[in-house]
């Protein structure tokens, strides 16, 4: 089914197909015509990352660390309660008819939440498509069947283990649209290039999505990729060509795609959507522009404050203003907006025009 959202404040329309996940946004509409100018933001988030997990059952075992992934949520050393059903329902009810998808996440695998199925059910009751990412470690055929009933797509983190392959197989067998989330850093870019060169990912998957490594939580600075690293160019050359599966990336990677890719339609690229079309709500009910805002610089506490109040808060506006005013002399400004306002070191740009206010 296709959902249409008309934005009365910023004058554009979005269409979202809850079966295929296709999401299209018009330009700003004036006098009934599309002006071709992209809207800077929506009047309510279209996608919300909901950190339903407050703690991770794998934290103490170092599952992520063994896979070379530094948990950006500090899952190995932080234990907080998971989000309650009541809080989750409160969020979902506000999103009804205004948001397309809820991406469940937080500090751990959402499939290990004590009320996992109920969370997914609440999404569907409110016309929202639930998605989530998992290590796959605790996934069972029963949980995969629950995903098949409710989820738009499920992503398995690329931890290169037997449980990774088992989870992918279980999800595919349950008819779930299955993606791989691959964290791209110094320690994993060589493998990414090689696998893309050979189309070497499990058969049957829908897409491999590359998520840029960030120096947040247990993610180290040493693992951040430098913009002039020649491997970065080689990686984007692989992104730029066809594969037997789809290839995607998070919006944090977009400055790199703008710089190095020639075949990707610029209209299909969207730079950081944090605070513009998406946001994060943690299990502690603090809403921020992005889940990587670990210091809570742009956070607004919810309840009694609503999602709409937080979206219109000064903290969110401050974040957006940094993008609005970034790199005024750069020709790619419209598309890139200076990249990540949180962590300048992850932006694949070395231009002399680069400038972002603090």
Interface positions with ligand SF4 (CB under 6 A): 214, 251-252, 255, 272, 274, 290, 292, 326-327, 330, 332-333, 336, 338-343, 347, 349, 351, 353-354
What is the bridge-based pairing of β-strands 246-249 and 278-281?
unpaired
Instruction: Give the shortest CB-256-to-ligand SF4 separation in angstroms.
Output: 10
CA dist 72 and 80 (Å) reads 15
Dihedral of CA 271/310/6/207: which sign?
positive
Which CB atom, from 157 or from 178, has the smaller least distance to ligand SF4?
157
- Closest approach, Cβ 179 to ligand SF4, in A, equals 18
Nearest approach in angstroms of CB 245 to ligand SF4 is 23
| Least distance in angstroms from the C-beta of 308 to ligand SF4 | 21
What is the strand order of the sheet 12-17 is part of? Answer: 2-7, 12-17, 23-25
Question: Among residues 196 and 290, whose Cβ is nearest to ligand SF4?
Answer: 290
| Burial status of residue 264 (CB atoms within 10 A of its CB: 0-12, 13-18, 19 or more) | middle
When the beta carbons of 84 and 186 are compared against ligand SF4, the nearer one is: 186
Question: In this complex, which beta carbon is closest to ligand SF4, that of residue 324 or of residue 353?
Answer: 353
Pick between residue 137 and residue 316 the one whose CB is nearest to ligand SF4: 316
Q: How far is the CB of 139 from ligand SF4 (least distance, A)?
A: 26
Instruction: Report the residue number, 181 or 214, with the smaller CB distance to ligand SF4.
Output: 214
DSSP secondary structure letters along 268-335: G-----BTTTEEEE-TT-EEES-TT-TT-TT-EE-SSS-HHHHHTSHHHHHHHHHHHTS-TT-TTHHH
Instruction: Find the shortest distance in angstroms from Cβ 119 to ligand SF4.
Output: 23
Termini Cα distance of the chain? 43
> Is the Cβ of residue 204 or residue 266 nearer to ligand SF4 in the bound state?
266
Please state the closest distance from residue 80 (CB atom) to ligand SF4, in A.
21
Other C-beta atoms lying within 10 Å of the C-beta of residue 324 = 15
* Strand partners of residue 210: 182, 249
Work out the angle between the directed axes of helices 141-150 and 162-173 (0-180°, nearest 10).
50
Report how far residue 183's alpha carbon sits from residue 161's, in angstroms, rounded to the nearest whole number: 15
């Amino acid at each position: 089914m296709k959902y249409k959202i008309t934005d009365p404040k910023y004058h554009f329309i979005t269409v979202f197909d809850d079966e295929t996940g296709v999401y299209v946004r018009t330009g700003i509409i004036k006098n009934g015509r599309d002006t071709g100018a992209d809207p800077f933001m929506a009047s309510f988030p279209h996608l919300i990352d909901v950190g339903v997990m407050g703690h991770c059952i794998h934290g103490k075992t170092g599952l992520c660390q063994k896979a070379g992934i530094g948990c950006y949520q500090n899952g190995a050393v932080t234990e907080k309660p998971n989000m309650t059903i009541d809080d989750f329902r409160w969020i979902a009810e506000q999103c009804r008819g205004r948001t397309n998808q809820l991406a469940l996440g937080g500090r751990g695998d959402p499939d290990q939440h004590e009320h996992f199925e109920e969370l997914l059910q609440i999404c569907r009751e409110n016309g929202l498509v639930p998605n989530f990412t998992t290590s796959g470690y605790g996934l069972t055929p029963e949980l995969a069947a629950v995903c098949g009933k409710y989820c738009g797509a499920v992503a398995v983190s690329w931890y290169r283990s037997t449980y990774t392959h088992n989870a992918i197989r279980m999800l595919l067998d349950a008819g779930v649209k299955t993606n791989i989330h691959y964290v791209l850093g110094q320690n994993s870019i060589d493998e990414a290039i090689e696998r893309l060169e050979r189309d070497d990912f499990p058969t049957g998957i829908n897409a491999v999505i590359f998520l840029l490594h960030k120096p947040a939580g247990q993610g180290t600075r040493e693992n951040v990729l430098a913009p002039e690293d020649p491997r970065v160019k080689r990686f984007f050359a692989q992104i730029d060509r066809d594969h037997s599966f789809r290839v995607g990336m998070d919006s944090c990677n977009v400055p790199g795609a703008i710089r190095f890719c020639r075949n990707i339609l610029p209209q299909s690229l969207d730079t950081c959507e944090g605070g513009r079309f998406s946001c994060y709500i943690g299990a502690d009910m603090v809403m921020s522009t992005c889940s990587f805002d670990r210091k809570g610089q742009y956070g607004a506490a919810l309840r009694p404050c609503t999602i709409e109040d937080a979206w219109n808060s000064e903290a969110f506006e401050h974040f957006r203003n940094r993008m609005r005013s970034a790199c005024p002399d750069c020709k790619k400004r419209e598309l890139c907006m200076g990249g990540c306002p949180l962590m300048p070191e992850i932006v694949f740009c070395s231009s002399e025009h680069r400038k972002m206010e603090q």
